[in-house]
Structure 1
Amino acid sequence: MRNVKILIIFLMVFSIINVDNATSKPINEGSTYKLYFLGGQSNMEGFGFAEELPANTSNPPQNTMIFVGQMAFDNETHGGVGVWQPLTPGLGTGFKTDGTTNELSNRFGPELFFGLTMAEQSNDENVAIIKYALGGSGLAEGVGYSNWHPDFSDGAGINQYDNALKTLRNALVPSDLDGDGIADRLVPSGIVWMQGEADAESSQAAADDYRANLARLMGLLRAALRVDDLPVVIGRITDSGMSDDGSVMDYIETVQHAQQDFVKNDSCADYVTATNDLPYLDDGWHYNTEGFIRLGRAFAESMINLEQRCGHTE
């Protein structure tokens, strides 16, 4: 299993190289996009309601494209397929794609206002987002409805790490993102990660392992994108308190400390704590529309600040 995943990473690296060299035309004839990978579980998947958005968010920015990999549980084979499109609401939970066409939902996640804010602050630079997230997924082996641990294998041997790699590989194969007939160039520029609730809810052992599991996964994603010190923004998980004992996740403090420690010891990582006062839906797990608007903006502001010292815009 490990050797297969190493091969997948190699194929992804090859794909990224081919994006830069997919045409004999001079590279500056196409568009250059700053590329960001957004991943995690349900609060990255997105539960904001599109119909509650301000009217001016319905028009996609011309310089921002997004590829959302189809969400799939472990051992399902359809995960990671997708198609590039302009950034728009409807790419949250319930979104579906067959790799040819996209079926928008009525939900959105942090990707929307992350992309809008990055576009506003980009000084006319193009922005490309690749997103893969699945609600309830964990990092510790066997934790969650599905699992991100690189070594965890069950059934057909396909987990969320595999789906993320497949999403990246599929997204990086096309050479013409904007459909103008000219090959484009993608420059890996950052990772945004919103996950940890499954581990914080599962057990003390899963929470204790979160620091090592997070560091390993971020390292592997950086390797897949070929930048060892690629900027990484981590979203702090929070507890709504909507349970009989006042805590939805019994081991949340351990995971929060693990997230903070990872960022503290990585000079190219940042910790978004705007989640501390984001409003929740009545389910007690997911932020509401206002929460996802604020979260997306906070991720973008963190990334912009982080890029000033760790950005890679070759």
Structure 2
Amino acid sequence: MMLKKYARNGSSIDSSGTAYFGAWEPDFRAGKGINQYDYFLKTVNNAMAVQDINGDGVEDVLIPSGIIWMQGESDADKTELVANQYYANLKRLMELMRATFRNNDLPIVIGKISDSGDDVDGKVWDFGELVQYGQEKFAATESNVAIVRSTNGYKYSDKYHYKSDGYIDLGKEFAKAVFLLNKKKSQ
């Protein structure tokens, strides 16, 4: 099994939510004209171009088993409009990612964002509930999608990041969900 990670902390899907970290919106052309989606494509293409991963002289075949997505905070802290568009933006991006792997039913597991509450008004992500709604809607309406909700019980190391045990649990929950979606698909 191979796990290929590509991430950019602080990035939003909607380019209107972009601060310093870029956007996943495929049409976003600020800065150098490369967005996070373009970097994702480059990462996937580089990974898929390796023909002998373990160097044993036999060509290996990579078969993607799923997409794991933990993102949304940067779409939840800008404007109500950006947060309200989260479902549509997530749906489009996941469709494009599935198309990259040539599998329109590739399992997708979404990590539901949570909020430490460590802010004057008790909410770090002012529009977090709207993004959470978009995540839940995506998981409920799209095929072969699961959502990890255990994030709501995680402790924080600062106002933005989970403590290590939360990340460990999140990884386990992601793995379990991808496994179950693949198992269900093969039955």
Q: Return the TM-score normalized by structure 1.
A: 0.57
The aligned counterpart of 2:169 is: 294
Alignment RMSD: 1.3
Map Cα deviations across residues 231-258 of structure 1 (whole Å, 9 max, x no partner). 1000000000111111000000000000
Equivalent runs, 1:184-195 vs 2, <5 Å = 184-195=60-71
The aligned counterpart of 1:104 is: none
SS at match of 2:3: strand
1:175 paired to 2:51: yes
The aligned counterpart of 2:104 is: 228
Distance 2:137 2:72 in 1: 14
Cα distance 1:143–1:174, how it changes in 2: closer, same or farther (>3 A)? same
Distance 2:72 2:170 in 1: 16
Distance 1:236 1:159 in 2: 23
Distance 1:276 1:227 in 2: 31
Cα distance 1:311–1:209, how it changes in 2: closer, same or farther (>3 A)? farther
Equivalent runs, 1:44-59 vs 2, <5 Å = none
The aligned counterpart of 2:122 is: 246
1:197 paired to 2:73: yes
Cα distance 1:311–1:231, how it changes in 2: closer, same or farther (>3 A)? farther
Q: Which has the higher contact order (CA 8 A, sep 6+)?
A: 1
SS at match of 1:271: strand
Contact 1:143/1:198 (8 A) holds in 2: yes
Contact 1:230/1:311 (8 A) holds in 2: no
The aligned counterpart of 2:181 is: 306
The aligned counterpart of 2:160 is: 285
Larger Rg: 1
SS at match of 2:66: strand
Structure 2 alignment gaps of length 5 or more: none
1:266 paired to 2:146: no
Q: Return the TM-score normalized by structure 2.
A: 0.95
Equivalent runs, 1:1-314 vs 2, <5 Å = 127-144=1-18, 145-281=21-157, 283-310=158-185
Distance 2:22 2:186 in 1: 32
Contact 2:66/2:178 (8 A) holds in 1: yes
Contact 2:16/2:82 (8 A) holds in 1: no
Structure 1 alignment gaps of length 5 or more: 1-126
Identity of aligned residues (%): 45
Report how far residue 135 of structure 1 moved: 0.7
Contact 1:189/1:311 (8 A) holds in 2: no
Q: Which amino acid aligns with 1:165?
A: L
Map Cα deviations across residues 180-221 of structure 1 (whole Å, 9 max, x no partner). 222111112111000000000111011011000000000000
Distance 1:253 1:246 in 2: 13
Report how far residue 228 of structure 1 moved: 0.5
Q: Which amino acid aligns with 1:131?
A: K
Number of matched pairs: 185
